[in-house]
Chain A
Amino acid sequence: MLWIGAVAALLAGVVATNVAVLRLNMKLDRLGQERADLKAQTATLSSQLSSAASAPRIQRMAAKRLGWVQATSDQTTYFRLRP
């Protein structure tokens, strides 16, 4: 009778392990998709950040909204620093 119980317990263990592996695989797939989604979001945000932070765009907006004017070469002074 003991061996029947042992075999039953073994079989139950095998089934439980398989179910756990199955669940982990399903979780892995879900996490993989989440990772892909997050990567997609990061790339989209990087693209938006790059567009928004572009110097020509900021200069254009500054010129339009605030009247910013690029300094001309004769309005700029350079200092030669000597050690």
Chain B
Amino acid sequence: MNRLVNRRIRLFLAALTLAFGGLVLRAVWLQGVRAESLSRLGQTQHREVVAVPADRGTIYDRTGVELGLGEQATTVYANPMQIVNPRRAAIAVQRTLGLDANRLYGTLADHSRGFVYVDRQADPAQAAALQKLKLPGFGFYPEARRSYPQGSVASQVLGYVGTDGNGLSGLELQYDHELAGRPGQESVVKDPAGRVIDIQRQRAEMPGKDVFLTIDHSVQANAEEVLRATVHKWSAKSASAIVLDPRTGAILAMAVQPGYDANRYPSAPRDLQRNRTVTDTYEPGSTFKLITVAGALSERLVAPSTRFTLPYQLQVADRVIHDAEKRGAVNYSVSQILAHSSNIGAITLAQMLGRKRLSDWIKRFGFDSTTGVDFPGESPGIVLPPDKWSGSTIGNVPIGQGIAVTPVQMAAAYAAIANHGIWSRPHLVDHVAGGARPSLHRHRLVSRHIADQLMLMLKDVVAEGTGQYAAIPGYQVAGKTGTAQKPDSHGGYATGRYVASFVGAVPASRPRLVVLVTVDEPRGAIWGGVVAAPAFQQIARFDLQYLEVPPDGAPGY
């Protein structure tokens, strides 16, 4: 009997030993051999590294009004593999986020996918309402979103930011490095219920810097309003305007119409998103005559009072060029050549200069290179080098044909004349928060004496020449009209397609503003003095009032 009991005890002990042995081996296996991989698996289930978005810097206008600012948004994503009832989930998303449940259902029911975006940069309150429903398979994380409180004001200048928070065009792209900041990083440990039980900050986020523009939102909005009315009145394709301070090159407005609401940039046609004043070129026509006259005066070939007998038309190589209005031979001074915008007069001056010197003056005025304005994608224009000129080029270029410039180049050239001959680089950004104001890039184009002579001539253009619609009561205005036929794709000129322009400075005795207006393909009238000069007048009149610039006593006022 005892032997039997002892045997059973031994068997029991042996079984117990085996069981313990098995447990020990399992423990060694789990805690020794597989410890690392299991630990990693556990950590991925309960610990996650979360990026903390950095606030993007705000873009302010010169008066401190926000033009572009960062908002916090919530991005909603889902793991369809974990979604139990896709139909219920889609309906819940429709109720909270306002998305189409029918379209969403297919995505949420696709169990082959482990990650799908439900709504990028959703409204935080709406996303919070969805989060409260605690639907399995849904995730949420904060993300920055860009907002443009002024809507369409300066939309082409500001550009836009992509869904990943990177500047994609305009100033958002140009100053992306300063505006973006650096996102932070946190390590979050959660309990099995998903509640956060520990947060370890690995890297603090660094917010982006604010950018302060030279743009004034009131000047900008008014310029856009005037252009909108001009485009409508003349059934034009588009219109653009630049308002700048000739003393510093600070751009107060850079407007293009038609425009678009910056908050709805993805749905805006690409064509409307372009800041044409910087990226697009046009043949300037008669506004370019100023450069020809400036060259002839600076080379001391003529004085403002030097007179020429000018026929109605002139043979230049294989081309016959004539003035805009049919007339007999006239005896014009250099001032009158500019005031009456005589093509024959400008070509006569250019022939005195010769191709080399004319080409040098074009270059000196910056028409073969970018101005360096702080905006991406600036075009240098199209200027033929003198060795590639044909016999008739001397008959085209001095009157602004066969040459393509950007509006910002032309505005900067006139600003230099208004600023007593000193060219200042046009710029849109005054300073970046925490940084010093960048120094002005300036250089002399013509002597003060020549610049003042040119200003007197430009005053005559408005007082008694082609630019009379640009006159502003109480102020002396100096400016020049331009009407240029548009080139076609076959190397010739398109019939009935013109660019009308006007560029001028006010008050002419002490210029505070240079305003350039171009109107693309107006209908009904084509002349710069009829189409663009009134727009100049409306823009400049508002700006002078708004900026409280006292009148300088126009003759007859």
Residue on B with the closest CB to A54? B150
Q: Does B487 contact A (CB under 8 A)?
A: no
Instruction: Choose from B195, B198, B199, B542 the contact partner of A70 (Cβ within 8 Å).
Output: B542
Does B473 contact A74, Cβ atoms closer than 8 Å? yes
Cβ proximity bits B529-557 to A, threshold 8 Å, 1 near / 0 not? 00000000000011011001011000001
Q: Interface residues of A toward B: which range? A: 20 to 34
Distance (Å) between the CB of A71 and the closest chain B CB?
6
B522 to chain A, nearest CB (A): 25
The verdict on A72 contacting B72 (CB below 8 Å), with A29-B199, A37-B124, A43-B147 known, is: no
Whether B512 is near chain A, meaning CB under 8 Å from some CB there, is no
The residue in chain B whose Cβ has the minimal distance to the Cβ of A29 is B196
Tell me whether B376 is interfacial, beta carbon within 8 Å: no
Interface size on B, residues (CB 8 A): 39
Is the Cβ of A56 less than 8 Å from the Cβ of B222? yes
B-side contacts of A55, CB under 8 Å: 217-218, 221
Residues from chain B with a CB closer than 8 A to the CB of A48 are: 149
Stretch at the interface among B63-71, B163-171, B321-329: B63-71
Complex: how many Å from CA A72 to CA B195?
65
A74 and B195 alpha carbons, distance in the complex (Å)? 70
**Which residues of A have CB within 8 Å of B128?**
37
What are 13 sample pairs from A and B whose C-beta atoms fall under 8 A apart?
Answer: A25-B197, A29-B196, A46-B66, A50-B66, A51-B151, A54-B221, A55-B221, A70-B542, A73-B474, A73-B475, A73-B541, A73-B545, A76-B545
What residues of B have a CB within 8 angstroms of the CB of A3 in the complex?
none
Is there contact, CB below 8 Å, between B218 and A72?
no
Q: With A and B bound together, what is the CA distance between A46 and B65 in angstroms?
A: 10
Task: Find out whether the CB atom of B217 lies under 8 angstroms from the CB atom of A74.
Answer: no
Interface positions, chain A 7-34, Cβ under 8 Å from B, are 22, 25-26, 28-29, 32
Interchain CB contact under 8 A, A25 and B196: yes
A44 with B71, Cβ < 8 A, contacts A36-B142, A50-B149, A51-B151 known: yes
Q: How far is the CA of A36 from the CA of B73 in the complex (A)?
A: 9
Tell me the minimal C-beta distance from A20 to chain B in angstroms. 12
> Does A47 lie within 8 Å of B69, measured CB to CB?
yes
- Residues of chain B with a CB closer than 8 A to A44's CB: 71, 147
Distance in Å: Cβ of A75 to nearest Cβ of chain B? 9
Q: Which residues of A contact B55 (CB under 8 A)?
A: 39
- The interface residues of chain A lying within 8 Å CB-to-CB of B70 are 43
Question: Is the CB of B415 closer than 8 A to any CB of chain A?
Answer: no
Chain A to chain B: the 8 pairs with minimum beta-carbon distance, closest first = A40-B72, A56-B221, A50-B149, A29-B196, A78-B550, A43-B71, A74-B473, A50-B66
Within 8 A of A (CB), among B210-228: 217-218, 221-222, 225
- Is B472 part of the contact surface with A, judged by Cβ < 8 Å? yes
- Which residues of the other chain, B, contact A28 by a CB distance below 8 angstroms? 196, 199
Shortest CB-to-CB span from A16 to chain B, Å, is 16
Q: Which of A40, A54, A71 contacts B149 (CB 8 A)?
A: A54
Given contacts A43-B72, A48-B149, contact A22 B474 (CB under 8 A): no
The CA-CA distance from A71 to B548 in the complex, in Å, is: 12
B174-202 near A? 1/0 per residue, CB < 8 Å: 00000000000000100000011111000
Tell which of A25, A40, A56 touches B199, judged by Cβ atoms closer than 8 Å: A25
What residues of chain A lie closer than 8 Å to B195, measured between beta carbons? 26, 29
Given A25-B197, A26-B197, A50:B65 Cβ within 8 A: yes
Distance A71 CA – B544 CA, assembled complex (angstroms):
11
Within 8 A of A (CB), among B59-91: 65-66, 69-73
11 more A-B contacts (CB under 8 A) besides A32-B199, A46-B149?
Answer: A25-B197, A29-B199, A39-B72, A43-B71, A44-B147, A47-B149, A53-B65, A70-B545, A73-B472, A74-B474, A80-B550
Asked if B458 CB lies within 8 Å of chain A CBs, one says: no
Query: Cβ of B197: which chain A residues have Cβ within 8 Å of it?
Result: 22, 25-26
A44–B72 Cα distance when bound, in Å, is 8
Whether B217 and A51, one on each chain, are in contact in the complex, defined by CB atoms closer than 8 angstroms, is no
Cα separation A77 to B222 with both chains bound (whole Å):
22
C-alpha spacing A49/B71, complex, angstroms = 14
Indicate if B153 sits at the interface (CB-CB under 8 A).
Answer: yes
